[in-house]
Amino acid sequence: MQKKTDPMYRYRWANLQTLAITGALAALLLLVGSLVLGRTGMILLGFVGAVSVWRASRMAGNLRPADARELRYPEAPWLFDLVERLCASAPIASTPRIYFSASPMMNAMTFGSRQEPAILVTAGLMNSLSEREVAGVLAHEVAHIQHNDLHLFRLAETVRAMTGFLSNVGWFSLFFFFPVMLMSGVAIPPGFIALLFGAPLVSVLLQLALLRTREYAADARAAVLTGDPLGLASALRTIDQASSSPWRQLFGAAPAEQGGWLRTHPPTGERVRRLMELSPRSAGGHSRAWWHYGEILT
């Protein structure tokens, strides 16, 4: 029971799951690549993949909404102080720059790199959440930076794209050489056909599973950073209610939300349940008041 209410246990378990999923993605890529291109082709493809990840990392700092502007300390000192304290607790060497968007959507996101991180908050988020809830959301984003999740996501996307590319190369080669193989009596192994068909789909599912796992890890780490998992749980409920569709409000869940394997984020209800289990009250502790910093940014 103690493990169930220990944020560090949840955090380490999510990291083990991440390692397993990442290993499965790499193994799938190596399997498809070795069958389609052979060893020499895989070396060349590995070089191309490394260059792609490097270029994506270099361009990551420019991936932000067009209306986002960088905030200065006098505009929201409590926000800067909060982020700095969270980064010191993480710890993170480079304090993120803070960007602000006038969008009414309730959203926060991390972009850039671990060396030059940035966090974007929207007007909808800052004007709708309490300071305690904002602290939980920002701790979640700081956790993504600490884990270097953005680099991991870019790496997973590169592996997925390479797996799909190799599968297409395999299909092209199969159809191109099919007359020759037919004339020479060479049989096509059914396992090879199944691999070419299933590898892209499995890589997509593994990538989505990785995204969901890192969200759970960031939630658990945020609970450690703030000592207040209920703050993040409350924020998630508020954001979820604000983004609910009329169908969901009437019937509980929209049809597109039913399938768990195709989600980029875990269901909000499950995230809230896990955070509630990590409540310091249930573990006999006390939460730290991170959120008393002043007025909400307008």
The interaxial angle of helices 229-242 and 131-147, nearest 10 deg, is: 100
- Which tokens go with 38? 């052979």
Question: Catalytic: which of 133, 141, 215, 277?
Answer: 141
Residue 70 catalytic? Answer: no
Q: What would the DSSP string read from start to end of the chain? A: -TGGG-HHHHHHHHHHHHHHHHHHHHHHHHHHHHHHTHHHHHHHHHHHHHHHHHHHHHHGGG-S-TT-EE--GGG-HHHHHHHHHHHHHTT-SSPPEEEEE--SS--EEEEE-SSSEEEEEEHHHHHHS-HHHHHHHHHHHHHHHHHTHHHHHHHHHHHHHHHHHHHHHHHHHHHHSHHHHHHHTPPPPHHHHHHHHHHHHHHHHHHHHHHHHHHHHHHHHHHHHHS-HHHHHHHHHHHHHHT--HHHHHHSS-GGGS-STT-SS--HHHHHHHHHHT-TTTTT--------S-PPP-
What six digits make up the tokens of 101?
């968007």
**CB-CB neighbours of 44 under 10 Å:** 10
Query: Do the beta carbons of residue 143 and residue 108 sit within 8 Å?
Result: no
Q: Which residues are catalytic?
A: 141
